[in-house]
Amino acid sequence: MTRILVLGSVNLDYSASVSRLPVPGETITGATLERIPGGKGANQALAAQRLGASVQLIAAVGNDANADDALCLLRAAGVDLSRCVVKVEVPTGVALICVAASGENHIVVAPGANAMLSPADFELPDADAMICQLEVPIATILSVVDEFAGFFCVNLAPAREIDDAVLKRADLLVVNETEAAWYGARLDLCSGFIATTLGANGAQLTQRGIELARVRAPAVEVVDSTGAGDAFTAALTIALVEGMAPAAALTSACAAGALATTKRGAQPSLPTRAQLEAFT
């Protein structure tokens, strides 16, 4: 079984479903509100666990009721939370999400405990791969660059200034089109794989400027795109670590991302390995 270590964020999502997204200054009523576990780190950890990996999560939550709610699906799925620390001085991270009937969304994050996760909070266990995102301090991510010896995936989301050492160390970088444009030529520092998600147009996988694969997204009825990128990242990491060829790995990842758009909420929508295999 592939061992995945995820270093990242844990949030409780407050998700409001509306007919359309508001424009600046506009109020839209008639929304339906749900409280759903989220955070890119937690999403990717749960996605990897559901896809058959053995997952450990390094993260931080507050000493509040939101922490239990934010971790409930991870705990139920069997994700190892022994390295998830409690920060008593700050609340658990919260994301405010507005989801339109089309599946598009707006997201605002109050990071809370995620911003307090430090290298002093954990020791790295052995794992086949590590997945990081940028919703925790960059210094904390930088601290594991030289220490972790396995396959190293960085989802460069949200786009933030990051040390070149992280880009150079990555075996896999995952970006969407907006993030790819934001980082620009700096992505060339990575000698590993670079996966760029293209929304409904699928994704491409390159290495050293050479396109290895391009895959169109499967046609599905989109309900909520929240968490699709996290499902994609987890699926692609697992596929590559398990030795799948680039085109097949990208096909699997696009399918996982597509399946994650067919249900509401980031974590409830994440597919299992059986669902992914049946879909592909």
Catalytic residue numbers? 230
Q: How many CB atoms lie within 10 A of CB 257?
A: 29
Side chain identity at residue 3, one-letter code: R
Residues 175/194, Cβ–Cβ less than 8 Å: yes
H or E segment and range at residue 48? helix 40-50
Nearest Cα neighbor of 155 from 67, 43, 46, 70 is 43
Residues 6+ away with beta carbon under 8 Å from 264: 15, 17, 34, 36, 99, 223, 224
Please measure the distance between the N-terminal and C-terminal CA atoms of the chain and give it in whole angstroms. 21
How far, in Å, CA of 51 to CA of 238, rounded?
Answer: 8
Q: Give, in order, the Cα–Cα distances in Å from 100 to each of 152, 201, 220, 224, 261.
A: 34, 20, 16, 8, 13
Alpha-helical segments (H) within 211-272: 228-241, 246-259
- CA 141 to centroid of chain Cα atoms: 15
